[in-house]
């Protein structure tokens, strides 16, 4: 399976985990919510790490067009990465998920940002990478 196809499959797993968490959130205790947020964080970070070390590294070794695509990707990804980092830093701590109203609001904002990012990757970025045969 090509790298881009693997990354798309990771998106599907992350989205499924996020959907499950959203559905279960009202009934989760604070500790279970924090554990689940940590699991989602780990999946997101592993995915971003693969993009960095495998996909972007390959683009940076390519021609000028590929290098520009890597720069654009990093630039457009930074706001989402920052938002996710703040969310996970706040809610992966023991007891941090006790305020379910705040958690729910912050979670919805993060989901919106991640959803938009996944859409851009799958509809714009990854098709361009496929056309480059990387």
Instruction: Give the CA angle between residues 76, 39, 102 to the nearest 5°.
Output: 75
| pTM beyond 0.85 | yes
Residue 133's nearest CA partner among 23, 36, 58, 57 is: 58
Nearby residues of 127 by Cβ (< 8 Å), 6 or more positions away: none
Domains and CATH numbers, the chain: 3-131 (1.20.120.520)
Residue-wise pLDDT tens digits, 67-123: 999 999 999 999 999 999 999 999 998 788 999 999 999 999 999 999 999 999 999
pLDDT digits (tens, 9 = 90+) for 12-63: 999 999 999 999 999 999 999 999 999 999 999 999 999 999 999 999 999 9
């Amino acid at each position: 399976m090509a790298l881009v196809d693997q990354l798309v499959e990771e998106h599907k797993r992350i989205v499924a985990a996020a959907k499950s968490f959203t559905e279960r959130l009202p009934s989760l205790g604070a500790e279970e919510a924090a554990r689940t947020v940590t699991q989602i964080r780990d999946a997101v970070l592993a995915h971003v790490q693969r993009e960095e070390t495998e996909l972007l590294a390959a683009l940076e070794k390519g021609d000028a067009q590929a290098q520009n695509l890597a720069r654009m990707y990093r630039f457009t990804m930074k706001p989402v990465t920052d938002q996710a980092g703040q969310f996970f830093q706040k809610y992966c701590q023991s007891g941090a998920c006790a305020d379910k109203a705040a958690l729910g609001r912050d979670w919805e904002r993060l989901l919106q940002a991640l959803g938009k990012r996944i859409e851009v990757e799958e509809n714009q970025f990854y098709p361009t990478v496929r056309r480059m045969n990387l």
